[in-house]
Amino acid sequence: MKKFLQTSLILLLSAGIIYAAPRPKIVNQFVTPDMLKTVPALTPDSCTTTGLNSVPNKLFVYLSVFNFGDTTSIQSKTWTMLSKPSGSAAAITNIPSLNWVKFRTDIKGTYEVKCAITTSSGSKDTTIKIYSSDFVGTGGFYNVPAAYPNCMSCHGATPAFVEIFNRWKVSGHANIFRYNIDSGSAGYGTSCMKCHTTGYDHNLFAINGGFDDKARDLGWSWTNFSPPKKGNWDTLKNRYPSLVALSSIGCENCHGAGSEHATGGDDAKIQINYGINACASCHDEPWRHNIYSQYKNSLHSHPVMEGRTVADSLRNQLGDCNRCHDGESFIGYTKNLKYPVNTTTASQEVIGCPTCHEPHGNSNEFSLRTVPTGADTLANGYHYSSTGTGKLCISCHSARRDNRTYITVRGSFSSTWGPHENPQGDVLLGQNLATFGFPYMSGSHKNISGACVGCHMSPTTDTGTVSRDKIGGHSFNMNYAATNVDNVSGCEGCHPGKSSFDDFVAPEDYDGNGLIQTWQKEVAGCLKNLRVALPPVGVDSVSWQMIARDSTNLNLRKAYWNYLVITNDKSLGMHNPFLAINVLQVSKNYAVGINQLGTEIPKVFDLAQNYPNPFNPTTKINFSIPSNETVTIKVFDLTGREISTLINSKKLMAGQYSTDFDGSKLSSGVYFYRITAGAYNTTKKMILVK
């Protein structure tokens, strides 16, 4: 079921806190086949619904209400049937266990329902109109001309609708019934036709012009045709041509029954479905049809409302939050259109099936939506057109800001400074990390077939496991926390024998804790090392306020950006393990003043003479290490007293480095600096002259 996150509008006055008035939203709830089996309050009705406002006649409508005007909870609500078609006996009844109400349409026409709510901040009411219709069929399919009131008898004259129809008629939705009665399995029967045709009664008997009603009137019965065999479709088409208009997953499966719309041409009496509801009414019948069961466990089903309005010139761009936080807006983005911005929880559409899939069909695999030409670009200008089906994921899962320009802008530094919260695409592709003069090493997970899809949607066991529908597939989850089960099925092609992420052990002790651990633990350790190196230095936390105050320290801002990217990637390195380690180690070095001099690995240990020498008040010290080592560089005075620790790194990667020593608080004299790197140590002299 669609879930909304409430937002609050709070007015702070000297007299105290006053909440804005409540604003109710009536939700037309959908009911799936699995819900009929698992929700006792719905079982007696035996009625699946799509939750659309254009409903098949003689079926139930289920309504609920929520308050999106403020944060106060609903104390009481009153439902009223304001109007209904003449002669209708429809009446509203409560479903207490679900906090819903219901009524059954019995005559075609308009039903208007009001709900008045009371909260601690006031009272408010709202209404909803439900349009009850019979099915009319799509028409114009398989060389059987459309006849009024078939959908295409009117829409066949509109080029835009014809283009949609031409894509649909070769799609799986259009052809699944035709295919199965000709070539399906021996078990194919009328229970399957409930979802494979238009208007077939799912359970509750209703005469409303659906496939089953039309077939009964014409004398077509599956009993006379079963089992599936070649020629069944041709016989149906030739003997019962008017049944063809209903012999598919057609317009009305997703847009609602259409007779009232066809009669008056009122667009309000047919509905465009941007949410999950119409799809879930069929794709939720485990064990086989479990896509919705998986989706319910995904974060996509729990969207975060942004509600930000941007200028039309910025719509569909990387800075438009609505593009990815609202399903309708994302569909507009894929079509290069600017749909109305849904700026409240009342208008927000979830990230559901139609967000990623084109219900009318596309030429690509799974009818996935495609992004506009040139839009497959990260904020730093990198094109990710080669990522296959994962390209759609990266459209939203990216940093959405170019670090090269963003980091250099001073001011406007806040708790939300940094990359977008889900920069997985950038990490996977090894892009848009702040560099310090040299490129980072990067892995090859970006070459996995389908990129994101290849791992996150890799299939798992259908039955008999506690993690069923919790990981893989349309859950997109890689871990089921309740039992700590990982989805590594997508890894097995390259990493056979792995059963969890704990089986992926890093080749070295990257975080310097003396243990060689799993990749994820090593990355977590390196993240902690960087946190400790960032302000306030020495504690396991980060203060963005202190980083903001040091506005001239570009290296510090770069390190903080990188910390946020790897943290918000949330994979603890699994998307690109070598990149994550490299970025965190280099960022930590620069945060504490260790600068890299090149990418060449030296052959021997070396501590160079400081330059300049003598110096006043700062000098630079270069050093080289040919292997990964724990490194310290300390400064002593003539008496051997330790003056400063310039470097104290538990694990420094092999390379050439430089660090600075500031003697501004010291008196003139001779000082010594000493490096210890593993078994190597040496000391050199330097002179401070003021």
Compute the distance between CA of residue 233 and CA of residue 364 in angstroms, rounded to an integer. 26
φ and ψ of 338, to 5 deg: -110, 90
* 633 & 500 share domain: no
* 427 & 512 share domain: yes
Structural domain range at position 80: 10-133
Compute the distance between CA of residue 519 and CA of residue 500 in angstroms, rounded to an integer. 12
For the sheet with 24-29, list strands across it: 24-29, 60-67, 100-104, 93-95
478 found inside a domain: no
* Residue reference for tokens 């630079």: 620
Q: Which of 206, 228, 256 is the last residue of a domain?
A: 256
What pTM does this model have? 0.90
Name every residue whose Cβ is closer than 8 Å to that of residue 57 and which is 6 or more positions away in sequence.
105, 106, 107, 108, 132, 133, 134, 206, 208, 257
In contact, 429 and 382? CB cutoff 8 Å: yes
Residue 595: DSSP 8-state: E
* 579 & 647 share domain: no
For the CA atoms of 314, 316, 319, 322, the dihedral, rounded to the nearest 10 degrees, stands at 110
| Cis peptide leading into residue 536 (ω within 30°) | yes
Instruction: Return the ∠ at Cα 493 (arms to 492 and 497), rounded to 5°.
Output: 35
Compute the distance between CA of residue 284 and CA of residue 249 in angstroms, rounded to an integer. 16
In contact, 127 and 26? CB cutoff 8 Å: yes
344 found inside a domain: no
Phi-psi region for residue 680, left (φ > 0), alpha (ψ -120 to 50) or beta? beta
* Residue reference for tokens 């290069």: 336
* 124 & 174 share domain: no
Q: Which residues pair with 479 in a beta bridge?
A: 486
* 22 & 125 share domain: yes
Q: Which of 591, 615, 645 is the last residue of a domain?
A: 591
Burial 279-315 (b: 16+ CB within 10 A, else e): bbbbbbbbeeebbbbbbbbbebbebebbbeeeeeeeb
In contact, 174 and 249? CB cutoff 8 Å: yes
87 class by beta-carbon count within 10 Å (0-12 exposed, 13-18 middle, 19+ buried): exposed
For CA atoms 449, 452, 457, 458, give the dihedral sign.
positive
Indicate the helix (H) or strand (E) that contains 452: helix 452-456
Compute the distance between CA of residue 33 and CA of residue 43 in angstroms, rounded to an integer. 10
Q: Which two tokens stand for residue 628?
A: 């990964």
* 445 & 525 share domain: yes
Closest CA to 369 of 337, 415, 346: 337
How many residues would you count in the chain?
A: 690
DSSP, collapsed to helix, strand or coil, labels residue 236 as helix
Mean pLDDT of the chain: 92
* Residue reference for tokens 């609602």: 256
pLDDT per position as a tens digit, 346-359:
999 999 999 999 99
459 found inside a domain: yes
In contact, 526 and 511? CB cutoff 8 Å: yes
566 found inside a domain: yes
- The tally of domains found in the chain comes to 4
Burial 377-399 (b: 16+ CB within 10 A, else e): bbbbebebeebbbbbbbbbbbbb
Name every residue whose Cβ is closer than 8 Å to that of residue 572 and which is 6 or more positions away in sequence.
519, 520, 521, 523, 524, 580
Compute the distance between CA of residue 585 and CA of residue 597 in angstroms, rounded to an integer. 15
322 found inside a domain: no
Compute the distance between CA of residue 486 and CA of residue 676 in angstroms, rounded to an integer. 41
* 576 & 604 share domain: no
Compute the distance between CA of residue 433 and CA of residue 397 in angstroms, rounded to an integer. 15
Beta strand 594-598 with 629-636 is: unpaired
435 found inside a domain: yes
Q: Which two tokens stand for residue 161?
A: 């609708």
In contact, 538 and 596? CB cutoff 8 Å: no
pLDDT of residue 24: 97
In contact, 251 and 258? CB cutoff 8 Å: yes
Residue 561 CA, distance from chain mean position? 22
Compute the distance between CA of residue 491 and CA of residue 500 in angstroms, rounded to an integer. 10
88 found inside a domain: yes
3-state helix, strand, coil in the chain (%, to 5): 30, 20, 50
Name every residue whose Cβ is closer than 8 Å to that of residue 217 and which is 6 or more positions away in sequence.
none
* 412 & 559 share domain: yes
CATH code where residue 605 lies = 2.60.40.1930
Compute the distance between CA of residue 315 and CA of residue 58 in angstroms, rounded to an integer. 42
Residue 142: DSSP 8-state: T
Report, as ranges of residue numbers, the positions in the chain whose pLDDT lies below 50: 1-18
Compute the distance between CA of residue 319 and CA of residue 407 in angstroms, rounded to an integer. 16
CB atoms within 10 A of CB 82: 11
Name every residue whose Cβ is closer than 8 Å to that of residue 465 and which is 6 or more positions away in sequence.
485
295 found inside a domain: no
Q: Where are the beta strands (DSSP E) in 14-138?
A: 16-19, 24-29, 54-56, 60-67, 74-83, 93-95, 100-104, 109-119, 122-133
CATH code where residue 89 lies = 2.60.40.1080
Q: Which two tokens stand for residue 352?
A: 């559901």
* 604 & 563 share domain: no
Instruction: Return the ∠ at Cα 485 (arms to 452 and 581), rounded to 5°.
Output: 55
pLDDT of residue 3: 37
Question: If you compute the radius of gyration of the chain from its CA atoms, what whole number of angstroms results?
Answer: 32
Q: Which two tokens stand for residue 474?
A: 């349309």
DSSP, collapsed to helix, strand or coil, labels residue 237 as helix
* 446 & 534 share domain: yes
Q: Which of 201, 234, 256 is the last residue of a domain?
A: 256
* 423 & 496 share domain: yes
585-588 own/partner pairs: CB under 8 Å, 24+ apart: 585/510, 585/526, 585/529, 585/651, 585/652, 585/653, 586/436, 586/440, 587/434, 587/530, 587/558, 587/559, 587/562, 587/563, 588/526, 588/529, 588/530, 588/533, 588/559
In contact, 155 and 142? CB cutoff 8 Å: no
* 415 & 553 share domain: yes
Phi-psi region for residue 348, left (φ > 0), alpha (ψ -120 to 50) or beta? beta
